[in-house]
Structure 1
Amino acid sequence: MKTKVRVKKKYKKKSKNYIMILVVVIFTLAVSSWAFYELTKPKVATQWFDSRAKAKQNIILPRDDGYHANTMEWWYYNGRLITESGKEYSFHFTTFLVNNLMTHTVFHSSLGDHTKKRHYTDQSRTAGNPSVGVKNSFLFKYQNWFMHGENGHDQLKVANDQFAFDLQLEDLEPVVNHGVDGIISLDIAGDSYYYSRTRMNVTGTLEVAGIKEHVTGISWFDHQWGDFLPAKLSWDWFSLQLDNGVDLMIYQMRDKQGNPVRYFVTVAKNGTTEILDQAEFTLTPGREWHSKKTGNSYPIFWKLKIPGKKIDLNISSIINDSEVDARLTTYLTYWEGAVNVEGSHTGQGFMELQGYGSANK
């Protein structure tokens, strides 16, 4: 009899354990289902952006200078250079890191000769990520491409048959975070982290047509990353450095029909940053330049008005033919070049126009 009682107790104990496990499983499934519903139920754009933004970490430097395990990421520079003989040039240099079906890295660069109105471009692509293992900074080395940045102390090297430069850059202003704590919503394309170093002092050397000279200048730096798909949208983008110390970033996103769907304007000066609403400014395109090579037409003159800041600017290209034919590396063409700023304020800047013409559809 004693043996039977023991078996009965043992059986009851096992039954209780099974019931406990079943309760835990049911509770876990219920919580998971609720969480899935909350994440996937329809929300208006503002609510969705706010919930995503709050769930993410703020940008922390120098940690976030380095690469991230996201779908898309890029490190971008543009700038003006003056040689010791007084010649004026402009440059841009971008490294794209794409983590999709496979990881690959793309390099784009251009040089504008303001005197001769010549625009030189170069591009390259390689499998993998040359910056793997680098922490609190970025370091891309591939053939004749070199890009290194560490908390606002950067170096850029590009060398090809048309031009070569070796530039050292030092940050002059506090870092500017765009959007909400450094997160911007790109509408149907997803969300993106985004910060800028709006003024970096530049020194180094530039070689064009076999002539090498020392240069000085001012540069702009952007770092953007996230699980977003830029091919879903096109854009008009401007970085403007006004002579009164104000720096402006204008980012107008467009859908496939060319209609603006999202705007960003950031005003920065001496460490103070302000994000403007769409109602606070107008951005109007003017005359166009037509590319004989690709058939694309780009608006190379724009009117920017910010009444609350008493800003009324004319933005015009310096070299009209500043198209970058990147179909060998990113399968796209775009316009990337220096602009003059005149009107209520004077200054310098850069403009990027992407999504114009049949080559981008």
Structure 2
Amino acid sequence: MFGKKTERKYRKRYSAKASLILFILLFVLGMGAWFIYEIMAIKPADEWFESKASNEGKVSLPKDDAPHQAKMEWWYYNGHLTTESGKRFSFHYTTFIVTDLISHLVKHVSLSDHQTNQRFTDQRRTTVGIDFASATSDGFDFKMDNWTMTGKNGHDQLVAATNQYSFNLTLTSTLPPVLHGEEGIISLEQAGSSYYYSRTRMAISGTVKIGKKIEAVKGIAWFDHQWGDFTTNQLSWDWFSLQLDSGEDVMLYQLRDKLGNPILYTGSVTQNGITEVLSSKDFTLIPGKKWTSKKTGIAYPISWTIQIPKWNMDIKTQGLMENSEFDAMLSTYNIYWEGAVKIEGTHKGTGFMELYGYGDKKK
């Protein structure tokens, strides 16, 4: 069809183009393989997460109120409620998203009546996937049957209802959010890393219903939002949120591995919008009286001495209701202690405590 000269010319041109295409293809494949090897194979999960965190920036609000495509994420509230007649209640309400091949939505709720010493708990779980692509509203809106948790920029609504009790609460943050760790990121070492911030004082108004009696309530809540590339089954911890009458808000966190070895002992004291991050040398937590669950046989230290010398704090906390164990074996396959505490000593106020991992035989 072509002359020899023309044929040689086309062969050279075709060979040059083919060589260029082959070089580009090999370069792209090589860079992709290097990227996967360098990031995923060489770096452990915690370093890879920190790399993503550094590239994406630190916590940014209200954008980060919304869900993230993380391995573990939760939105957590605890609160103290009072009626006009002086009755007192406390609650905790958590929504978890656990992401593996699909996302699981889990809810835990407790309500304690401090007049009758009654404690109500419930839990729910669904395997319906979460559409993270639609989570662009700078907030969250979780609905499961007649339970809802909605929020955006410190204006939140909590609704939970069972045959025994219900509550409908409106919450408004009264202080700026507190970023924990380094601009909202804490390292959990071999367990991974976590974004973490709190709204430490949220004013509450709403209603509580126990049986057929509905009562108006007001109160104060603490909100935590935590997410990242970590797994809780490698950890145990003691966690405290304290709202002191003198104006300080205190978070303390003792994190251990399953053998009881310290991973991270940290905390913060916030006053007048200024937060001081605490290291392990800045505070001591000394366990006291233990309570043993008749149902599970797990012993929890429900009384603690807390000392923070730099802030002239020497206080004791005591669980208001000893039997505040939460059996979550039907939803997250774990058991923990979660309840309100009273505060005595150099400071007064309200508080909550969470004790996790005490049922592990290795601990």
User: Same-fold call, TM > 0.5?
Assistant: yes
1:341 paired residue number: 343
Q: CA deviation at 1:114?
A: 1.9
Distance 2:344 2:18 in 1: 77
Q: Deviations over 1:132-171 (max 9, x none)?
A: 7452221112222111111111111111122211111011
Q: Is the 8 A contact 1:49 1:185 kept in 2?
A: no
The 3 A distance-change label for structure 1 pair 205 and 131 is farther
Matches within 5 A, 1:1-361: 3-28=3-28, 31-32=31-32, 34-36=34-36, 38-39=38-39, 40-41=41-42, 51=51, 53-129=53-129, 133=134, 135-358=137-360
CA separation of 1:254 and 1:360: change in aligned 2, threshold 3 A: same
In structure 1, what is the Cα distance between the partners aligned to 2:90 and 2:242? 14
Please, what TM-score do these two structures have when normalized by structure 2? 0.91
Q: Distance in 1 between matches of 2:16 and 2:114?
A: 82
Unaligned runs of 5+ residues in structure 2 are none
- What is the DSSP-based 3-state SS (H/G/I as helix, E as strand, rest coil) of the residue aligned with 1:249? strand
Whether contact under 8 Å (2:102, 2:129) holds in the other structure is no
Which letter maps to 2:339?
G
Deviation, 1:49, is 7.8
Q: Residue 67 of structure 2 contacts residue 140 of structure 2 at CA under 8 Å; is this kept in 1? A: yes
Amino acid at match of 1:4: K
**Number of residue pairs aligned between Structure 1 and Structure 2:** 360
Distance 1:111 1:328, change over 3 A: same
- Segment drifting more, 234-243 vs 128-137: 128-137
Structure 1 contact 97–129 (Cα < 8 Å) conserved: no
How far off its partner does 1:116 sit? 2.5
Of stretches 74-83 and 124-133 in structure 1, the one that deviates more from structure 2 is 124-133
Distance 1:224 1:79, change over 3 A: same
The answer to whether the Cα contact below 8 Å between 1:240 and 1:350 also exists between their aligned partners in 2 is: yes
Q: Does the 8 Å contact 1:131/1:138 carry over to 2? A: no
Q: How far is 1:19 from its partner? A: 3.2
Aligned-residue offset at 1:243: 1.2
TM-score (ref. length: structure 1): 0.91
- Residue type of the partner of 1:107? K
State the shift of 1:313 in Å: 2.0
Rounded to whole Å, the distance in 1 between the matches of 2:242 and 2:181 is: 17
What is the deviation of 1:66? Answer: 1.5
Q: How far is the alpha carbon of 1:38 from its aligned partner?
A: 4.4
The list of structure 1 runs, each at least 4 consecutive aligned residues, that deviate by more than 3 angstroms after superposition, is 21-43, 47-53, 129-134, 358-361
Larger mean CA deviation between 100-109 and 330-339 belongs to: 100-109
TM superposition shift of 1:32:
4.4
CA–CA distance in 2 between the matches of 1:42 and 1:279? Answer: 30
CA distance in 2, matches of 1:42, 1:214: 53
The Cα of 1:321 is off from its aligned counterpart by 0.7
Residue type matched to 1:155 in 2?
A: Q
SS of 2:3's partner is helix
Q: Residue 227 of structure 1: CA displacement? A: 2.4
Identity of aligned residues (%): 50
Q: Distance in 1 between matches of 2:361 and 2:95?
A: 22
In 2: Cα distance, 1:187 partner to 1:340 partner: 32
SS in 2 for 1:55: helix
For the aligned residues, what is the CA RMSD? 2.6
Q: Report deviation, 1:36.
A: 4.6
SS in 2 for 1:330: coil
Residue type of the alignment partner of 1:124: R
1:289-344 alpha-carbon deviations (Å, 9 max, x no partner) = 00000111101111222222222221211111100111111111110000112222
Distance (Å, rounded) in 2 between the aligned partners of 1:137 and 1:210: 33
